């Protein structure tokens, strides 16, 4: 039976789809058969970040409507064994999602996958509700700024009250915090919330801290999940987050201002 993980936040642009792609890829690299579902019906970005946009023929909505089956609709990643993508529709809207159809698809996927990653759209409308409803665990993605953290707190309220686990009085959804676009220099200057500020407000376990890095945008534009770049600090941070998700005890990196070496200070080498 698969473990269902929703990647969510209240605010757009914080890195949910980047995170879904990275976490899904990281789990597959560790040998777990993983599928990432794009719930952002009408926009559809996951296939771009995963580099498979030209291979989309059938989508999530087609499966829900029985216009295609999973074998026709799932896209197997060309780079990573055990990794699959179920893209969203670009021509429908989120109201075409229905709870019975989503449950049927997830139940069918659960028979053959170890992990189902649900990439949620921003906000608290129907698509986001559908993405979180069947979750066993949630990765709440937030930036270290007040409005993003406030919106994430709202999502925590929904996870505690509006999911299948809450409705059926089961063990609550296990929550994880992933802090993205973190810049220790700006934290020191008081321009950005610190890790401690965010964890104090949200009061959920810290899964990872992903530093601000141009490699994230470069990887997305190239259709490569950033976790596949082992030299990137962001890629390393996501790899650490996957390890912690699987129970590994790892220290958090990239929280402090990096001290420059002598040659960097005099400009002979550039980072």
CA distance 182 to 179: 7
Residue 252 has pLDDT above 80, yes or no: yes
pTM score: 0.93
3-state SS, one letter per residue, for 65-126: CCCCCHHHHCEECCCCCCEEEECCCCCCCHHHCCHHHHHHHHHHHHCCCCEEEEECCCCCCH
> For tokens 């550039």, what's the residue?
270
The predicted-structure confidence for 27-53, as pLDDT tens digits, reads as follows 999 999 999 999 998 888 899 999 999
The predicted-structure confidence for 138-152, as pLDDT tens digits, reads as follows 999 999 999 999 999
Using the CB atoms, write b or e for 108-130: b if 16+ within 10 Å.
ebbeebbbbbbbbbbbbebbbbb
Give residue 260's pLDDT: 62
Percent of the chain with pLDDT over 90: 84
Give residue 267's pLDDT: 55
Give residue 264's pLDDT: 53
Band (12; pLDDT cuts 50, 70, 90):
confident
Band (271; pLDDT cuts 50, 70, 90):
very low
Residue 7 has pLDDT above 60, yes or no: yes
What is the per-residue DSSP string for 140-172? EEE-SSHHHHHHHHHHHHHHHHSSHHHHTT-SP
Average pLDDT, the chain: 92
Contact 61, 92 (CB under 8 A): yes
Contact 99, 106 (CB under 8 A): no
Contact 52, 27 (CB under 8 A): no
Residue 210 has pLDDT above 50, yes or no: yes
3-state SS, one letter per residue, for 164-185: HHHHCCCCCCEEEEEEEEECHH
């Amino acid at each position: 039976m698969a473990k269902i993980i929703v990647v969510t936040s209240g605010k757009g642009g914080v890195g949910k789809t980047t995170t879904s792609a990275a976490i899904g890829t990281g789990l597959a690299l560790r040998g777990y058969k993983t599928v990432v579902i794009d719930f952002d019906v009408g926009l559809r970005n996951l296939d771009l970040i995963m580099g498979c946009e030209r291979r989309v023929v059938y989508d999530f909505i087609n499966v829900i409507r029985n216009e295609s089956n999973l074998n026709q609709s799932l896209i197997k990643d060309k780079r990573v064994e055990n990794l699959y993508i179920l893209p969203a529709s670009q021509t429908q809207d989120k109201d075409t999602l229905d709870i019975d159809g989503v449950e049927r698809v997830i139940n069918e996927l659960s028979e053959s996958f170890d992990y189902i990653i649900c990439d949620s759209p921003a906000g608290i409308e129907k698509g986001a509700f559908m993405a979180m409803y069947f979750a066993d665990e949630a990765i709440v993605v937030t930036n270290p700024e007040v409005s993003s953290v406030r919106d994430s707190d709202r999502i925590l309220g929904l996870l505690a009250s509006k999911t299948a686990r809450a409705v059926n009085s089961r063990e609550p959804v296990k929550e994880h915090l992933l802090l993205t676009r973190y810049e220790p220099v700006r934290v020191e200057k008081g321009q950005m919330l610190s890790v401690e500020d965010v964890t104090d407000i949200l009061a959920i376990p810290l899964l990872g801290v992903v530093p601000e890095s141009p490699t994230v945008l470069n990887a997305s534009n190239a259709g490569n999940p950033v976790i596949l770049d082992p030299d990137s600090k962001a890629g390393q941070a996501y790899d650490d987050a996957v390890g912690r998700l699987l129970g590994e005890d790892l220290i958090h990196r990239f929280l402090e201002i990096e001290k420059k070496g002598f040659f960097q200070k005099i400009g002979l080498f550039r980072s």
